[in-house]
Structure 1
Amino acid sequence: MSTIILASSPRQAMAAPCHTLRMGPAEIQVLYLVERDLKTGILLAETAEQQRRIATAYPRGLIHNSLNVLVIRGNGIVALVDTGYAWSFPNLVAALQRVGLSPADVTHVLLTHAHSDHTGGLVQGGKAAFPGARVLFSQKELAYWTSPERQTAAAEGERTLAAEVGAILHAYGDRVSSFTTGQDLWAALPGITAVDEAGHTPGHVGIMARNNGQTCCMPLTCSPLILRCQPPMTWTRLPQRACARSFCSRPVAKAGW
């Protein structure tokens, strides 16, 4: 049995239209959108050794990060996992075109969580950017951001995110639904499930694909530095460490790109 964690560096991503992995009937593609520097303050070090590793790895205090999304397709399914920012939507359209797709071809948009850098491409000019797609949230994530408490939350950021989810609901109507983690997401593509990674947000998920003894793990909010540290580090506001620990404890076979 082998385990693959999908990851890509900006240079590798720009050198090819996408990175592709075949898992049974499913073709999984990592599409590069854009690069952006993130401050190392998003990493929460628990030990002095972890602080040292951060300082060594990122002496300028910045993480040069690439914004990527996933496309999962096969047997009539064309699923986009996350959509990037609202401002990066042209990059997303260009990335889809490089693999022979357009927004109209997307049948499902699965959201790992409801932060703006993952949901921003869903609504453009007040209208659904993917006219034929169903939008999928985890049950916990959708319930959290549509609760009355979020509409009147003390934190402005929470109210803003709740309003953005409301705009998605308005644009897509009854095409917005939810799923349960641990179950196949599509009957046509068995073995592809959402994994509970709650903590970054209450309903945050990653994607896992299994086929013939091979497992592909796709943690959509993750840093390679986190995976190398023992004990594992995590993102700020991400108390859930079990997922990072499980990735560190598994034998990892890097995808060959």
Structure 2
Amino acid sequence: MTRVPHVGLGTMGLDTPAEATAVTTALEMGYRHVDTAQIYENEAVVGDAIEAAETPRDDVFLATKVWADSLAPDDVLRTTRESLDRLGTDYVDLLYVHRPIETYDPPETLAAFDELVDDGLVRAVGVSNFTVAELDEALDLLDAPLVAHQTEYHPLFQRPELLEHAEEHGYSVVAYSPLAGGQVRDVAEVVSVAEKHDVTPESVSLAWLAAKGVCVIPKASSERHLRANLEAVDIDLDAEDIAAIDAVEREVELYPE
């Protein structure tokens, strides 16, 4: 079964060739997981940046997502091929249902995803922003294994039931916005752990997620931040550190439906 690399680069907002050089830098630094989406409207510049890195295609775990207005079967098949053209690749390693809204029809949409796997255009299927009930339904309907669930997850937006479900069913959780849009630097519990380890709150947030087995795809553009994010998952938090962040009571959801 396909395994999702634990650290990746989120690309939302990397819209121009100059901004997308972060993708090239990341791959040259050792990143092997790049995440984009149709709705980001940057697949072409992301694809060019991947090519510029000269990293063998088979070494890059490339994920994109089908937006909610294109989840009817014919649209899934058409727009995925368009994504491949923009990305300059024959296949993506992971294709997500971006949100289960609008044109999402579970039996029909997921059958189209299975068809893309059968045709070799998609290596693995993922879903994003699903509830536990929606995850159960997808697991029942898909022929291909469910490899990943991408969801907002950070110290200010915790959904342990999603982690439990993933562990029970053997797929990865991929956390987007793992730094809460920078707000983790204002969370007292995170700051306290950061001071203890002499690292940044951002690094602690990523280390906390990694300790839970969650894959992370923070966006970064500078070489310094790219390197810090890559190294953060190796920070060794103890049980007390993890429990302190688990106990954060304030809740902020950055991307509600």
**Fold shared per TM-score above 0.5:** no
Higher strand share: 1
More relative contact order, 1 or 2 (CA 8 Å, 6+ apart): 1
